[in-house]
Amino acid sequence: MKRLGLVGLLLVLAAFLMVPPAFAASTPQLIIGAIYVGSVNDYGYNRSFHDALTEVAKNLPGIKLLEAENVPESADAEPVMENMIQQGAKLIFPTSFGHQEPAFNVSKRHPAVYFYHAGGWMQSANFGNYFGNTQTAWYPMGVAAGKMTKSNKLGFVIGIPIGFAVGNVNAFELGARSVNPKVQTIVVVTGGWSDKAKEAAAANALVDQGCDVVAMHVDSPATVIQTVEARGAMSIGFQSIEARVLAPKGWITGLGFTWASFFTDVAKSVIAGTFKAQSVHQGLEKGGMVAVAPFGASVPTNVRKLVTDSVASVANGFNPFTGPITDNTGVVQIKAGESWGGDKMGDFSWYVDGVVGKVK
């Protein structure tokens, strides 16, 4: 159903892309192409990449950006990238999970063009992958929520309970419990990453249940944050740290992706001719891929300090998923002395003790 609209948009985009550059006087030293699955104005995932590339263009001289929005996660993405390459793009960032295979196909045809794909696993001499470790980063968010809540009930709206989203919820509850042993996190699943009306209803249901802090893992946090704000509850954002403008009263803090420093390094390596395709995963560490948003005005100094300390400890390697950890049915899932990290982050099929909800 979405396809025809996208094809129409693509045609329009393609028409724009085929117009020759108006001022070819100063030749850029590197042309970077980026494709997004949605719009870059979503205060969410796509926006985070656009912001990062804008920063790269500011950091390095002579960078030219070619960006295409609403690029489908199918073979239709290939001509968009081919077109960018014809315009001289030497570095391409396919940013959605489903762009992986089309981008990999294009990379095989153009060995001298370099690719870095977000969230996948495929790799070759000119094709690398990267992503942010959000799970551990949700722990300090839980600390913030656990301190700010008065009802000891936190809400979490998630689109689909995939392992990564469940891991985010788990770290959130573990962080909240670390400062407030009575706190619960109630999960509501909407069944899709972008069903706005259900997101509004889910947020309302959580506030109805007495949740006074609501977090979310959906494509764009805008609807949940604004619904919660209108009900007079507080929110913790996700995907883009710019989302704070949506909740002038209830904003606590949030997590966003920050790719700028990684992208800058990659761009430099392409310019210097030292590009190396790797699999890069970073979290809250300085210059890493996940960053904490500024605090809202209502967050007191002592809470800010606790959260900042927690961010620092996670950045220095503290792993919240260190046993013993029991799930919410009483089964020990991570034994004492063991810990889950890296590849295991997508494997969560259970909620930690204190989370109200069922994965399956």
Partner 1 sequence: MTTSLFVGVFAGAILSGTSLLYATLGETIVERGGIVNLGLEGVLLVGASVGFAVTVATKSAWLGVAAAAIGGGLTNLLFGWLVIVRKANQLASGLAIMFFGVGASALIGGPYVGAVIAGLPKWRPSFLAALSWVKPTTLFNYDILVWCVVPIAVLVWWILFQTRWGLALRAAGESPTAVFASGRNPAVFQLQGLLVGGVLGGLGGAHLSLSLTLTWAEGMTAGRGFIAIALVIFSKWHPIRAIAGALIFGGAEALQLQLQARGAEISPFLLDMIPYVLTLLVLLAWGGAGRLAAPASLGRTFYGSE
Give the interface with partner 1 as residue ranges (CB under 8 A): 1-2, 4-6, 8-9, 12, 38-39, 41-43, 47, 69-70, 155, 161, 186-192, 194-202, 204-206, 208-211, 219-220, 222-223, 226-227, 231, 245-246, 356-358, 360
- The DSSP letter of residue 19 is S
- Is residue 32 within 8 Å of residue 65, measured between CB atoms? yes
Distance CA 118, CA 194 (A): 20
- Please state the φ and ψ torsions of residue 237, each to the nearest 5 degrees: -90, 170
Number of Cβ within 10 Å of residue 122's Cβ equals: 16
CB of 338 to partner 1, least distance (A): 28
Stretch (H or E) spanning 142: helix 134-148
- DSSP 3-state of 92: strand
Nearer to partner 1, 128 or 155 (CB): 155
CB of 211 to partner 1, least distance (A): 8
Instruction: Report strand pairing: 127-132 vs 114-118.
Output: parallel
Distance CA 104, CA 127 (A): 7
Nearer to partner 1, 125 or 160 (CB): 160
Concatenate the DSSP letters of all residues of 57-124 into one string: HHHSTTEEEEEE-S--SSTTHHHHHHHHHHTT--EEEE-SGGGHHHHHHHHHH-TTSEEEEES----B
Nearer to partner 1, 130 or 172 (CB): 172
Nearer to partner 1, 36 or 262 (CB): 36
* Residue 233: burial class (beta carbons within 10 Å; 0-12, 13-18, 19+): buried
CB of 210 to partner 1, least distance (A): 4
Nearer to partner 1, 199 or 253 (CB): 199
Nearer to partner 1, 11 or 125 (CB): 11
CB of 117 to partner 1, least distance (A): 23
CB of 356 to partner 1, least distance (A): 4
CB of 199 to partner 1, least distance (A): 7
CB of 248 to partner 1, least distance (A): 11
- DSSP 3-state of 325: strand
